[in-house]
Structure 1
Amino acid sequence: MTTFMRLNRTLKLRILMTFIGVLGYSTVGSSMTIYYNHYLGAAITGVLLIISSVSSFFIGLYGGHLADRHGRRPILLIGSTISVVGALIAVFSNSPIFQNPWTTFVGFFLLNFGFSFESAADNAMIIDVSDESNRKYVYSLSYWIINVSITFGAALSGWLFRDYLFELLLGLLIAQLINGSIKYFLISESFVPAPKAKKERESFIQNYGVVARDKIFLLFIGAVILNKVIFGNIDFYLPVHLSDSFKTTTIFGFEIYGQRMLTLFVMLNTLIIIFSMTFVNQLTSKWSERKSLTTGALLQGLGFAAAFLMNSFIPLILASIVMTIGEMILVPSSQSLRADLMNEEKIGTYSGFVTITDPIGSVLSGSLVSFSVYIHHTGVAVVMVVVTVLLVLCFNQVMKMKTQAEITSSKNT
C-alpha cells in the first residue's frame, strides 16, 4: 500500500480506470460471439469478428502514431468519446423499445474502435509517468487488477447475460462515462511533442520505419510473439486437447469432463494470480531482469507442454499451477523491459507497433490446432518446448544487446 500511495496520481487513476473499464466490458464482451451466432449465424459472425479485429489492429497503429504527434491526452479523449457512442448504440439496440443485432454490432465495432485508438496512448502515458524504480510494480498491479475485474465480470456475464443484457450494457455505458469523465477532468497531459515545422513531421510510414529499424526492439517483438504462441493456446489447442483426451472423473460427487476441466484450469490460473501476485512480486523483487524473464518463460512454457501431455485431473491441476507461477513472474518483467527498450520520443509509435503481436500470435496458435491432427498432443507438447527454448534465447539475446547498447552509449557521452 505504501508503494501504491507513492505512485504518480495519473498512475493511480489509470489503475482505477482499468478496473472500471475491464469490469464493464467483461460482463458482455466474452459472450457477444454467442449473441451474434444466435441472431446472425456462424458464417456471418466469423466475418464480423474478422472485420472488427482487422480494423482494430490498424486503428491501433494509427493511434500510436498520433499519440507521438499530438500528445497522449487528445487521443485518449477521442478514443473515449468513440467508445461512449458505441456503448450508447449497443444499449439502444437492446432496449425494451428496440432490438437489432446489426446495430448492436455497429455499437461494439465503435466501442472496440475507440479502445484500440487510445490503447497505444494509454500505454505510452504509463511509461511517461513511471520510471524503472516502480514500473514493474505498476505492471504487476495492473495485471492483478485485470484478473480481478475479469473474474467478477465473467461471473456476472455467466449469470445475467441471457436475461439481463440491457442492464449489463447500461453498466458498460456507465463504466465508459465514468472513465471518460476521469480522463477529461482529472488526467493531465504527460507528453508534449517538440514543435516541428509541418515539412519536418514524420509520416505514418516514416514513424513506423524508425521502429522497424530498431533491431533490439524487433527481437523483443519476436519474443513477445513466441510468448503469445505459448499462452494463446489456452484458447486454442488446450480446449481441443481436453475435449478429446481428458478422462472424465468425479470429484466429491461432481462430474468433471473436458469442458469443465478447461474451466477449472482457467479459474485456477485466475485465482492464483489474484491471491498470490503480491507474494510472487515480493519473492522476485530482487531478481535480475534476466533471471525473471528466463525463469518465468521456462515455467510457463513447460507448464503448458506438460498440460498437453496430461489427460487426468491432478496432473493438469499441477500443470496449471506451474504455468501460472511462470506467468506471474514473466508478465511484469517483460512489460517493464518493453518500456525500457522504447525510444522516449516515439513511445506511442512503439506501443502501437506492439499490437502486431496479437494477430500474428493468434494465427500461429490457431495453426497448431490444424497441425495437431498430424502431430497429436505429443507433437504439440514438443513444439511448446521448442518455442519456450527459443523464447528464452530471444530474451537473453535482447538483454545482451541492451547491455551492449548501454555501454556504447555511456562511452559516447
Structure 2
Amino acid sequence: MKIKDWDSNLKIRLGGEVTFNIIFWTFFPFLAIYFANSFGKGLTGILLVLSQALSVLGNLLGGYCADRFGRKRMMVIASYGQAIGYGIFACAASPWVSMPIVGFLGFSLASLAGSLYWPASQAMVADVVKEEHRSGVFAIFYTAANIAVVIGPLLGSILYTDNPYVVLAAASGFCVILALLMSRTLRESLPAHLAERHQSKIGEPWFHFLITQLRDYRIIAADRVFLLFVLAGVLLSQTFMQLDLLLPVFLKENVQSATIFSYNNWNLQLSGKQLFGVIVSENGLLVTLFTVLVTKWMLAYKDRYVFIGGALFYAAGIAMFNQMSTFWGFTLAIAVFTLAELMSAGPQQAFVSRLAPDHMRGQYFAASSLRFTLGRTIAPLSIPLSEWVGFSWTFGLLAGLAVLGAVLYNVMFNYHDRQAA
C-alpha cells in the first residue's frame, strides 16, 4: 500500500510525527548522561524507574480513553501535555534557573503524556487500514520515526550539549503546533458503535469508569497468548532500552577514543560520547534503509520463527557490545542489534491487531505497549547495577533475559497453535 493511497489522517500524522521525532532525538539520547551527571548513577536509575512507572499507568489509561473518548481527542490532549512537560524541562535546564529535579519532573510529565498518545495513534492505524496492509503501514511509520534517529543525535551532538534549553523549548513549541494541526485537520476514526456505547454511559458515577477499566484489563490478562507476548516483550525491552540508557554511560566511561580511519600520522577519532551519537545514528540509518525490506522478507516466515529469531539476535547484539573496543567493532554490534529490531517491528504490531477484538482495540494496543512501558520502568536499573557488579555482568544478564524472552515466545506460539487447532 503506497503512501499516496493512505487515509488523510495517516498522512498528516506521518509528517507531524517525523518532525517532532527529529527534535526529540536531538536531546533524548543524551538525557541518561545529563541526569547521571546531575544526580549520580544510583539515584538516576531510581528516578527513571519512578518516572516510567507513572507512564505505565498513563499508558493503560490512554488505551481505555482512546476506546471511550476517541483517538483524535486523546492524541490532541497528549500533545498539549507533552508541550507543558518539555516547557518545564526547558526552563529548568536553562542557565538562569538550572534546577535538574524540576527538569526531571517536566520530563516525567512529558513521558506520561507520550504514553497517552501512543495507544490512540496505533488504534487509529488499525481503524483506517485493512488487515493485509497493516504490517506495511506500521513499518513505514517505524521507518519514518527512525529517520529522526539518524538526524537527531547528530544535531544533538552539536546543539544539545551547549544549549539544552533551546532544544527542549523547540520540542515544547512544536508539540503545541502539532496539537493545533491535529485538532483542525484530523477526523475521528473511533468506530461509531463504540462512540454510541460511550454516549449511553454518560451520567454514570465516576467509579464505574474505574470498575469497567479494571474488568476489561482483567479480560486481556486472561488471554494467555497475549499475556505471554507481553511478558516476553518486557524481557526483550530490557535489552533494547539499553541503547539509550546503559550504552551511553558505558561508552563515556570505557572508551577514551575510537579511531574511524587513519592514514600515516593522521587519525579520525571520536570520544566515547561522540561515538555514542554516531552509533545511535547508525542504528537509525539502518532502520531507515532496511525496515520495509526486512519486513517484506519476514513475511515469508512464520511469526514463531520471526519472533524467536529476533530475540536471539538481541541477545547476540547486546553481548557483542561488551566485547568491542573499536569503532568498527561497535558498528558490527549495532548492525546485529538493529537486525533484531527490524525483524519484529511490523510483524508484532500486526500480530496484536489480529488478536484484538474490534471493541477493545485501543486497550489491546495499550496493553501491548506494556512491553515498552514496563520494560522502560525496569531498564534504568541497569545503570546502578553496572556500578555494583560491573558492566560485564550487566551485559551478560541482559543477554540472558533476551534468551528467556525467546523461550517465552516459543511457549506462546505453542498455546496459539493449540487454540487455532
Pick closer, same or farther for the CA change 1:401–1:130 going to 2, 3 Å: farther
The answer to whether 1:115 aligns with 2:127 is no
The answer to whether 1:220 aligns with 2:234 is no
The answer to whether 1:332 aligns with 2:346 is yes
How many angstroms apart in 2 are the aligned matches of 1:63 and 1:325? Answer: 30
Give the aligned CA root-mean-square deviation in angstroms. Answer: 3.7
Match 2:406 to one of 373, 392, 396: 392
How many angstroms apart in 2 are the aligned matches of 1:365 and 1:174? Answer: 28
The answer to whether 1:348 aligns with 2:362 is yes
Match 1:306 to one of 287, 296, 320: 320
User: Is 2:233–2:372's contact at 8 Å kept on the other side of the alignment?
Assistant: no
| Equivalent residue pairs, number | 403
Name the amino acid aligned to 1:21. Answer: F
Listed one character per residue, the Cα deviations across residues 17-41 of structure 1 (whole Å, up to 9, x for unaligned) are 3212212323344445666677x65
Match of residue 410 from structure 1: none
TM-score, normalising length from structure 2? 0.79
Pick closer, same or farther for the CA change 1:279–1:365 going to 2, 3 Å: same
1:55-204 map, 5 Å: 55-89=54-88, 99=97, 101=99, 107-165=106-164, 167-191=166-190, 192=192, 193=194, 194-195=196-197, 196-197=200-201, 198=204, 202-204=211-213
CA drift at 1:162: 4.5
TM-score, normalising length from structure 1? 0.81
CA drift at 1:400: 3.8
User: Is 2:322–2:391's contact at 8 Å kept on the other side of the alignment?
Assistant: no
Listed one character per residue, the Cα deviations across residues 235-282 of structure 1 (whole Å, up to 9, x for unaligned) are 455556656776966431134665555454433322222223343334
The answer to whether 1:401 aligns with 2:415 is yes
The answer to whether 1:209 aligns with 2:218 is yes
User: Is 2:49–2:381's contact at 8 Å kept on the other side of the alignment?
Assistant: no
Pick closer, same or farther for the CA change 1:190–1:305 going to 2, 3 Å: same
User: Is 1:230–1:365's contact at 8 Å kept on the other side of the alignment?
Assistant: no
Identity %: 23
Listed one character per residue, the Cα deviations across residues 124-156 of structure 1 (whole Å, up to 9, x for unaligned) are 222222232121112211221122113322222
CA drift at 1:219: 0.5
Structure 2 runs not aligned, ≥5 long: none
User: Is 1:302–1:384's contact at 8 Å kept on the other side of the alignment?
Assistant: no
CA drift at 1:319: 2.8
Listed one character per residue, the Cα deviations across residues 179-212 of structure 1 (whole Å, up to 9, x for unaligned) are 1123211212222425255488652322221122
User: Is 1:309–1:381's contact at 8 Å kept on the other side of the alignment?
Assistant: no
How many angstroms apart in 2 are the aligned matches of 1:243 and 1:93? Answer: 24
Structure 1 runs not aligned, ≥5 long: 408-413
Pick closer, same or farther for the CA change 1:190–1:404 going to 2, 3 Å: farther
Name the amino acid aligned to 1:335. Answer: Q
